[in-house]
Amino acid sequence: MSGMGARPPELTELARVDDRISFLYLERCVIHRESNAITSTDDQGTVHIPAASLGVLLLGPGTRVSHQAVMLLAESGSTVVWVGEQGVRYYAHGRSLARSSRLLERQALLVSRRQTRLRVARDMYGMRFPGEDVSGLTMQQLRGREGARVRKVYQTHSARTGVEWKRRSYEVDDFFAGDPVNQALSAANTSLYGVVHSVIVALGCAPGLGFVHTGHVRSFVYDIADLYKAEITIPLAFDLAADPPLDIPGETRRALRDRLHGGAFLNRCVADIQNLLRVEGEAGEDAADLPDPHEEDRDVMRLWDDGEEDVEGGVSYGADDS
């Protein structure tokens, strides 16, 4: 590449987060840029990847990435996540696709008010218990119901596949210490976390501001990912464990990728987050004070005015001073 390189893509040229490829995992390769594509080179050759249509790039061990490649991914609004061996450890992530802080402000307001935080938490559990009324349950009751539900899901898929199930067990520092179904669960859940994480940061939300989970930098990631495990990662893990492949983590990632192929999951995840952070006039909550999660995402800068409305940024207000 010579000179300043290819021009960055315009905002109108970028794919929306729900139209993008869910995730791509790379390891033991050199990642560079050629025009507006990311290139991955290893001993088998070079592959070109359109950056503007990529949701999240998972970088595993042995990857080397150039400054130009990271710059293109940033310009394209793609999220980069650095992960560990087999893609089952999270280390860091890149920038957001969002152009405004409206959803972040909305999330922060909801999580900092006990009544609205409880409402969102109940809604999350309600999405896992379709057809059940959870509006009057306490958090303790919801946790108990969720625990019983998850145990039943494990038992159901154990009976369906013939895979013995004892309990969820894994060692952070030794992936292969677990049995095949636990290995597959770890790999599938971690890949799901990466995809959900990419949607959350692409929308401009804070991964650490969770409603059910708390105290961790990825609390909101775990909140959202838990909505889909019983439907996606748990049955997938038992299916793979019924006839374990030689490369369980690799086959699990590919199976999950195929399951999420086509963008329907990204579209669903975006809609779920926006609906959970919805605007409605509840008791103790003035909808007029809260940013609308469905409002058009605009690249604007405004100044806090300590009044009813913010004021326009990029304007010199010195002439008004007396």
Q: 111-127 burial by CB neighbour count: b if 16+ within 10 A, else e?
A: beeeebbebbbbbbbbe
How many whole angstroms separate alpha carbon 292 and alpha carbon 127? 21
The answer to the question of whether 231 is labelled as a binding residue is: no
Q: Is 213 annotated as a binding residue?
A: yes
> Order of strands, edge to edge, in the sheet holding 21-26?
21-26, 54-59, 79-83, 90-93
Residue 133 marked as a ligand binder: no
| Pairwise CA distance, residues 238 & 136, whole Å | 34
Query: How far apart, in Å, are the Cα atoms of 221 and each of 124, 166, 200, 224?
Result: 13, 26, 7, 5
- Are 202 and 153 in contact, with CB atoms under 8 Å apart? no
Contacts of 174 (CB under 8 A, 6+ apart): none
Category of 145 on φ-ψ map: left (φ > 0), alpha (ψ -120 to 50) or beta: alpha
Q: How far apart are CA 58 and CA 79, in angstroms?
A: 9
Annotated binding-site residues for Mn(2+) read 146, 213, 226
Annotated binding-site residues read 146, 213, 226
